[in-house]
Amino acid sequence: MKKYLLASLLALLAFVGKAQEDNSDIVKVGDTMPSFTIVSDNGSKLQSASLKGKVILVNFFATWCPPCQKELAAVQQTLWPKYKNNKDFVLLVIGREHSDADLQKYNEKKGFDFPLYPDKDRAIFGAFAKNLIPRGYLVGKDGKIIYTSKGYTDEEFAELMTKIEGALK
């Protein structure tokens, strides 16, 4: 009887796990990067269409998110110094639900030397995903997503670095 009860419980847990699968992705590996426009507080615009032919890392974060802080520290320490002068690489670190003023204040504390871009109303984020940050999307020169990440681990960041290197070859 205990065996049947245990088997039933395991089956139920598997079913519940399936029902709660992460469906937060809108964009997946192999998809074309959604088009978007970053609008700064001063009205200046950066259109994704202007980045064609480049390797692009789109990173979504929030100033209050602890895993985001770890990821951005790794970007500052490792990724940005390696790729900031590469004409074929673009880094878009986008603050979900943040204005330029929010990001400027945040950056005064953190001292990042890579640009931070606003997404006040989640319009850009909403084209990529439904929820969960930090998120990263690596886009190849052909405009297709070649790597995605959710959350932050050192191992995943190392894999991202390898993917960037490969995409730039």
Looking at the domain assignment, is residue 88 inside a domain? yes
Looking at the domain assignment, is residue 122 inside a domain? yes
Q: Kindly tell me if the per-residue pLDDT of 15 is higher than 90.
A: no
Residue type, 110: K
The model's pLDDT over 44-79, given as tens digits with 9 standing for 90+, comes to 999 999 999 999 999 999 999 999 999 999 999 999
Q: What would the 3-class secondary structure string for 52-67 be?
A: CCCEEEEEEECCCCHH
Looking at the domain assignment, is residue 108 inside a domain? yes
pLDDT band at 22, cuts 50/70/90? low
Positive or negative, the CA dihedral 87, 140, 98, 105 is negative
What's the confidence (pLDDT) of residue 24? 81
Domain count within the chain: 1
Supply the pTM of this predicted model: 0.85
What's the confidence (pLDDT) of residue 41? 86
What's the confidence (pLDDT) of residue 1? 54
Looking at the domain assignment, is residue 54 inside a domain? no
Q: Kindly tell me if the per-residue pLDDT of 5 is higher than 60.
A: no
Looking at the domain assignment, is residue 110 inside a domain? yes
More confident residue, 44 or 13: 44
Looking at the domain assignment, is residue 149 inside a domain? yes
Looking at the domain assignment, is residue 75 inside a domain? no
CATH of the domain at 112: 3.40.30.10
Looking at the domain assignment, is residue 38 inside a domain? yes
Note down the domain range covering 141: 29-47+80-166
